[in-house]
């Protein structure tokens, strides 16, 4: 993840400030050095790093911490605000009919991003279509077509046509019913004149409302020049950073955003059509600093729940809050969890859990949990409808049968039943709460959590925001 180191190394320095109410010059010096080291090793441009660190230093030295605020929280707030300032606002993407063109070098992730964005718009209730004009890479047509099928969105391409401009024109006509058009273009290994000429020709036919530059998070210092060239030829309105799920450092992409005075529109976090996030500077930086991102998390939960319910219309998550919590409910919840994406990404979004605690978990903890969920799923598939609806009927002999049927240890079957019981008990407590209690609890959680909500998001780490 971008600047991943920043979160953990900074937390180290910040933890040393625990209990202090004032910052010494050495404290500030150490923190600024840590930030510089992390940003530089993440490929952020040197002059940018210097600008950022000098304003952090100046503010940390000169600004008085508001009453009751610890030195640690005060620095964290400044670092947070400066980083949000560096990255800027998210590119505005109105939820209305429009045409968006994607540009970028070969392999940056344009085709994948086109399908992901189309999926994203479709979830927002619009009807998107992808127009594939990449006639340069032989596999591009099939790849785009398949991904659009998976995303269940309209697609236009013509594998027999060599002129991308013609495809663009015909594609827009043929997908006239769609309200959002996403035009994918070809990439090249390097910025060549022919690529720039081609993209300018396509641009003049497509006349996009917005052109997005797609950048691989692994791009280093070269991003700066690339961004400038694309910006000069077609005008870049925003950037999509892809492959953030990998080990990429991402600093180059951030530099490019700053260089072209543009902003970040979307983040790509995996290879499937659903692995896309709208960029939210507050939540992004909170997550980066290990403060979680409640907004992204609740969006993912809602989406996963809705999808699970779509697949099985008889199941309604709301029923859980009203009546009994069966094993079937538990299985559906696990399905929904799986849809939320890899567990470590989900954990990053939970305030207070993100970087800090997660760093302390053994490396394989996440795999173990996911393996366990898979085993539970197999076990539940071996149960009868009666057992799923009423787990109390499962005695020793049934445990043995289920274990044999599923090929899983009896111990694991018992563990599953135990887990279910625990969840049932917890839910009972929630059920006892009135709506007012629930709202108060949610409010409290929000205040404690990071993400989305300006400085309210800092609350989980100390007294801000309350």
Stretch binding ligand GTP (CB under 6 A), from 25-33, 191-199, 242-250, 298-306: 242-250
Instruction: Check binding of 211 to ligand GTP (CB under 6 A).
Output: no
Nearest to 49 by CA among 37, 63, 31: 37
Enter the tokens of residue 449: 């959590």
Which of 208, 268, 281, 354 touches ligand GTP (CB under 6 A)? 268
Distance (Å) of CA 270 to CA 231, 251, 298, 312, 355: 26, 19, 19, 26, 20
Under 8 Å between Cβ of 86 and 256: no
Q: What Rg value do the Cα atoms of the chain yield, rounded?
A: 25
The response to whether 185 counts as a known ligand-binding position is: yes
Which of 269, 331, 403, 406 touches ligand GTP (CB under 6 A)? 269
Report residue 452 CA to chain centroid gap. Answer: 13
175-204: contacts with ligand GTP (CB under 6 A): 186-187
115-134: contacts with ligand GTP (CB under 6 A): 134
Instruction: Check binding of 208 to ligand GTP (CB under 6 A).
Output: no
Which of 27, 154, 198, 245 touches ligand GTP (CB under 6 A)? 245
Which of 79, 140, 383, 413 touches ligand GTP (CB under 6 A)? 140
Which residue spans within 167-296 are E strands per DSSP? 180-184, 210-216, 238-242, 264-268, 276-278
Stretch binding ligand GTP (CB under 6 A), from 5-13, 63-71, 102-110, 443-451: 102-110
Identify the burial level of 38 via C-beta atoms within 10 angstroms of its C-beta, where 0-12 means exposed, 13-18 middle and 19 or more buried: buried
The response to whether 341 counts as a known ligand-binding position is: no
Distance (Å, whole) CA 414 – CA 396 = 9
Instruction: Check binding of 250 to ligand GTP (CB under 6 A).
Output: no
Nearest to ligand GTP of 145, 398 (CB atom):
145
Distance (Å) of CA 415 to CA 57, 327, 410, 425, 445: 52, 13, 9, 15, 29
As measured in angstroms, the least distance from the Cβ of 134 to ligand GTP is 5
Nearest to ligand GTP of 199, 330 (CB atom):
199
Q: Which residue is nearest to ligand GTP (CB)?
A: 187
User: Residues marked as binding for GTP?
Assistant: 104-111, 184-188, 242-245
Can you give the binding site for ligand GTP, defined by CB under 6 A?
Answer: 104, 106-112, 134, 137, 140, 143, 186-187, 242-243, 245-246, 268-271, 275
């Amino acid at each position: 993840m971008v600047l991943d180191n920043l979160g953990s190394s900074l937390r180290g320095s910040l933890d040393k400030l625990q209990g202090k109410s004032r910052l010494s010059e050495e404290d500030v010096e150490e923190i600024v050095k840590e930030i510089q080291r992390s940003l530089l090793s993440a490929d952020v441009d040197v002059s940018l790093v210097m600008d950022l660190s000098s304003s952090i230093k100046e503010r940390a030295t000169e600004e008085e911490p508001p009453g009751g605020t610890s030195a640690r929280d005060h620095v964290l707030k400044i670092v947070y605000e400066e980083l949000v300032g560096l990255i800027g606002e998210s590119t505005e993407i109105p939820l209305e009919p429009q045409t968006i063109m994607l540009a970028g070098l070969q392999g940056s992730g344009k085709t994948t991003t086109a399908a992901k964005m189309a999926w994203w718009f479709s979830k927002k209730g619009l009807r998107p279509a992808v127009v594939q004009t990449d006639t340069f890479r032989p596999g591009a047509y099939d790849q785009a077509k398949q991904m659009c099928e998976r995303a269940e969105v309209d697609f236009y391409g013509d594998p027999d046509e060599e002129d991308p401009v013609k495809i663009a024109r015909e594609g827009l006509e043929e997908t006239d019913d769609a309200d959002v058009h996403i035009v994918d273009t070809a990439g090249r290994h390097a910025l060549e004149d022919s690529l720039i000429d081609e993209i300018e020709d396509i641009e003049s036919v497509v006349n996009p409302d917005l052109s997005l530059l797609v950048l691989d998070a692994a791009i280093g210092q070269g991003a700066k020049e690339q961004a400038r060239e694309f910006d000069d030829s077609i005008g870049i309105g925003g950037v999509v950073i892809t492959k953030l799920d990998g080990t990429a450092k991402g600093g180059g992409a951030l530099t490019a955003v700053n260089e072209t005075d543009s902003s970040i529109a979307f983040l790509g976090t995996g290879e499937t059509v659903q692995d896309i996030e709208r960029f939210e500077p507050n939540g992004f930086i909170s997550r980066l600093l290990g403060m979680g991102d409640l907004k992204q998390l609740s969006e993912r939960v809602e989406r996963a729940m809705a999808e699970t319910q779509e697949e099985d219309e008889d199941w309604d998550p709301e029923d859980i809050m009203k009546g009994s919590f069966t094993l079937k409910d538990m299985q559906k919840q696990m399905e929904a969890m799986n849809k939320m994406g890899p567990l470590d990404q989900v954990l990053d979004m939970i305030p207070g859990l993100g970087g800090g605690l997660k760093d302390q978990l053994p490396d394989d903890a996440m795999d173990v949990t996911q393996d366990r969920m898979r085993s539970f799923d197999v076990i539940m598939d071996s149960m009868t409808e009666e057992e799923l609806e009423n787990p109390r009927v499962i005695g020793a002999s049934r445990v043995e049968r289920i274990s044999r049927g599923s090929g899983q240890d009896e111990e694991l079957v018992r563990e599953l039943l135990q887990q279910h019981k625990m969840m049932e008990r917890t839910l009972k407590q929630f059920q006892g709460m009135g709506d007012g209690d629930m709202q108060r609890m949610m409010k409290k959680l929000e205040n404690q959590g990071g993400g989305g909500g300006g400085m309210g998001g800092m609350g989980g780490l100390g007294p801000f925001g309350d």
